[in-house]
Structure 1
């Protein structure tokens, strides 16, 4: 059962992650355009801090930071938490990306970054995956896209 759940969870994490990192590198110096790299970094710090507080806190964080154009696509991860470690050296603009089945791109500046995702329940790691994730900076705030479990 746990092994099957891990496979389902890997698929769930993959809905927000892909293996291709598109675009051009953000300029060296750590800040990127208008400090947007710092906003992306803070997004992941806050996401992981919320995971440390438990599933309810992370669900609330993901609800608050779901991109405003895609709030109807938010998913409930139940009692799972995600710890996502970005490889910020891979951060690149991805202006052509749009969520699967979306007719329009999200407003704002879309970035793609390589990540390591650890899926946890009750303090135990169920699965780990390496992929990429999109974060959009809009009006000085970083937004993400909650991964949805597949059925």
Structure 2
């Protein structure tokens, strides 16, 4: 079980960009109140789907995956995540590309510091502090679903 938890957290951290430095110069995001609300609603929906179960959250992750990276969606193996952003850290990250890709996603890329809690069958099995990237594209917020175990 401990190995599985470690694999889940390590894989989540790698895809989410939690482990390394964030490219570019930190610059607070200059967003309208409406756009800020879209980012908050994105994470609220993600957490609500997680509360409803792994199937619901997996579907939401697939539905909100950035359109340029739809093939990167994968299975959380029955686990769910709860993401708690620190909104004061939300900033533009114009040079970022998902791990393993050279292409910058279309849209305006932002990064925010988060605490991620990994749950399985309602029990917390791990926590990770790091950064997650989200994109505002065509007035929609898209993310990058965590991929586990290759």
Q: Contact 1:13–1:117 at 8 Å: present in 2 too?
A: no
1:6-25 matched pairs, under 5 angstroms: 6-14=5-13, 15-19=15-19, 20-21=21-22, 22=24, 23-25=26-28
C-alpha offsets along residues 32-91 of structure 1, whole Å, 9 cap, x if unaligned? 147322211111000000001100100110010000000011111121100011001100
TM-score using structure 2 length: 0.91
SS in 2 for 1:84: strand
Gaps of 5+ in 1: none
Q: Contact 2:17–2:99 at 8 Å: present in 1 too?
A: no
Gaps of 5+ in 2: none
TM-score using structure 1 length: 0.90
State the shift of 1:126 in Å. 0.9
Paired residues in the alignment total 146
Rounded to whole Å, the distance in 2 between the matches of 1:112 and 1:45 is 17
- Backbone CA RMSD of aligned residues: 1.5
Rounded to whole Å, the distance in 2 between the matches of 1:36 and 1:98 is 22
Q: Does 1:48 align with 2:51?
A: no
C-alpha offsets along residues 92-144 of structure 1, whole Å, 9 cap, x if unaligned? 01011011121311001100000000000100011100000000010111000
1:89-128 matched pairs, under 5 angstroms: 89-128=88-127
Rounded to whole Å, the distance in 2 between the matches of 1:136 and 1:34 is 16
SS in 2 for 1:114: strand
* Number of the residue aligned with 1:79: 78
State the shift of 1:13 in Å. 1.5
SS in 2 for 1:18: coil
